[in-house]
Amino acid sequence: MNLKRLMLGFAVLLLTACNNDKTAVVAFTEVPALPDGAYLLKDVEVTESGVVSILLRDQIKIYTNNRFMFAFMNKEIGIDVGAGIATWDDGVMVEVPTVNHNGSVEGYSFDVAIEETDSGFVQTIMGMKYDDGRSLDMVETWNTASIVTSPYDGLWHRVQDGIFTTKIIGGGHFISLQRTTSTEGPDLSNSSEFWFGSIEFGKNGQAVETGMTSSVQNYSDAQQSLHLVLIDQDNLSQTATVDGIEVTEIYQRL
């Protein structure tokens, strides 16, 4: 019996058995991982109680270094942003959210079936349950925006003065989520904003962000120049000029 392995993004197991001059070949193919990058939503097919509807919205999703983040304006709840750990398992992206627009998240895991296409991928989630008991199936079609990489790619986080900021960079794009916690008055209150767009890198850490979509008005096409410094593998410095004043923020890798 001969055993040969061929590794080209997939595994093939070749078993040869000699019996009456007959050869048996059994092949097992592993689904190649979805490339890290930025993806833009084309449409969503939602099935709820047997009723099918097609939704269109400005939404981005970024996968990079086993992390993910998405953002969009949800017609039902408003800001809808999530981020966390992404692990590829033979055609299924296992997504474990660790933060969303309301704060830290625990105890959730989603097995997202993904089929790569020529223009991006199709993502299927069956039986997604909501807190109010609703259950629906979603089939999302995504187009590739870019799979370019940079040294600054990753999921980043910072906390300062009651402001929690989560940011992902990957595929030549970015998403930022900013959540503010107020302790004024008897109750604790939270407010959130997000924005996403493309990011173009120059020399010596220079970069320019160009806005695409945000919960903030008049953000589309807005540009912000940045100076990025990778302090080490787990810490990122970002400097921007705001109203003529340089503001430096230090992020930690999640």
Q: What is the pTM of this model?
A: 0.84
Q: Which residue has the higher pLDDT, 30 or 79?
A: 79
Is the pLDDT confidence value at 23 over 80? no
pLDDT in tens, 169-206: 999 999 999 999 766 655 556 789 999 999 999 999 99
Return the HEC string of 114-142. Answer: EEECCCEEEEEEEEEECCCCCEEEEEEEE
pLDDT in tens, 128-172: 877 778 889 999 999 999 999 999 999 999 999 889 999 999 999
Distance CA 192, CA 105 (A): 15
